[in-house]
Amino acid sequence: MSHDHDHDNELDPFAARVRALETILTRKGLIDPAAIDIIVDTYETKIGPRNGARVVAKAWSDPAYADWLKRDATAAIESLSYTGRQGEHMQAVFNTEETHNLVVCTLCSCYPWSVLGLPPVWYKAPPYRSRAVIDPRGVLEEFGLTLAATTKIRVWDSTAELRYLVVPMRPAGTEGWSEEQLAELVSRDAMIGTALAREPA
């Protein structure tokens, strides 16, 4: 079903509601439907977790960049041209042997769109938002990640306008890898904290 489909009676009720709203606003000259097409295309094809993976790979490869990312993530990320909506104020948090970082927004779904794209449904849904702060270890188990009992967990609740990027630990056996190769090991979930970086095959 595309938005320019002509048969409203084939739409489910909520699709019809959104369609009606778009039509009303368009007819009143308040929105430009072509702008919607570009917004959707931007988040489907241009802004996504690959941006964040490149940030992480660069931090793994370049200690000076990692240091900059630690001190001023907004500027360090902007230097790679990843800027914009929901990435205006960035903070990078680094996993260590001792501490694992996990990001949540218990109040809505604050998420670093400029480096990770649009959030997945589970990030926005009540099970994750309710439990990430009270039972993070249990939540991680549901993602298939079992941390050592001695690993400390640091949960960052995005209650203001700072957006967090978790920098996972660099896997062993990747010495001499290029940034492009390293970026392949960095999943979206690793940058939220619900996964670790992939091990080299």
Under rule CB under 8 A, residue 68 binds another protein:
no
Smallest gap from Cβ 99 to another protein, in A, equals 8
Under rule CB under 8 A, residue 83 binds another protein:
yes
| Residue 87: half-sphere exposure toward Cβ, Cα within 13 Å | 27
Residue 130 marked as a ligand binder: no
Give me 160's structure tokens.
Answer: 């203001």
Would you mind telling me the total number of residues written for the chain in this entry? 201
Catalytic residue among 105, 130, 158, 187: 105
Residues 180-199 that bind another protein (CB under 8 A): 189, 194
Residue 43 vs 65, nearer CB to another protein? 43
Amino acid in the structure at residue 68 = W
To the query of whether residue 81 is one of the catalytic residues in this protein, the response is no
What is the sign, positive or negative, of the torsion defined by CA atoms of 168, 174, 175, 178?
Answer: negative
Give dist(CA 96, CA 148) in Å, integer: 13
Residue 105 marked as a ligand binder: yes
Q: How many helices (H) and strands (E) does the chain have?
A: 11, 4
Catalytic residue among 81, 110, 158, 178: 110
Smallest gap from Cβ 201 to another protein, in A, equals 19
Q: Measured in whole angstroms, how far is the alpha carbon of residue 19 from the centre of its chain? A: 28
Under rule CB under 8 A, residue 80 binds another protein:
no
Residue 109 marked as a ligand binder: yes
Residues 23-42 that bind another protein (CB under 8 A): 23-25, 27-32, 34-40, 42
Distance of CA 140 to CAs 44, 46, 61, 99, 119, Å?
Answer: 27, 29, 27, 14, 17
Residue 62 vs 141, nearer CB to another protein? 141
Smallest gap from Cβ 9 to another protein, in A, equals 12
Distance of CA 61 to CAs 6, 29, 98, 164, 182, Å?
Answer: 53, 50, 21, 20, 9
Residues 129-168 that bind another protein (CB under 8 A): 129-131, 133-137, 139, 142-143, 150-162
Residue 108 marked as a ligand binder: yes
Give dist(CA 185, CA 86) in Å, integer: 24
Under rule CB under 8 A, residue 96 binds another protein:
no
Binding residues for Fe(3+), as ranges, are: 105, 108-110
Q: Which residues are catalytic?
A: 105, 108-110
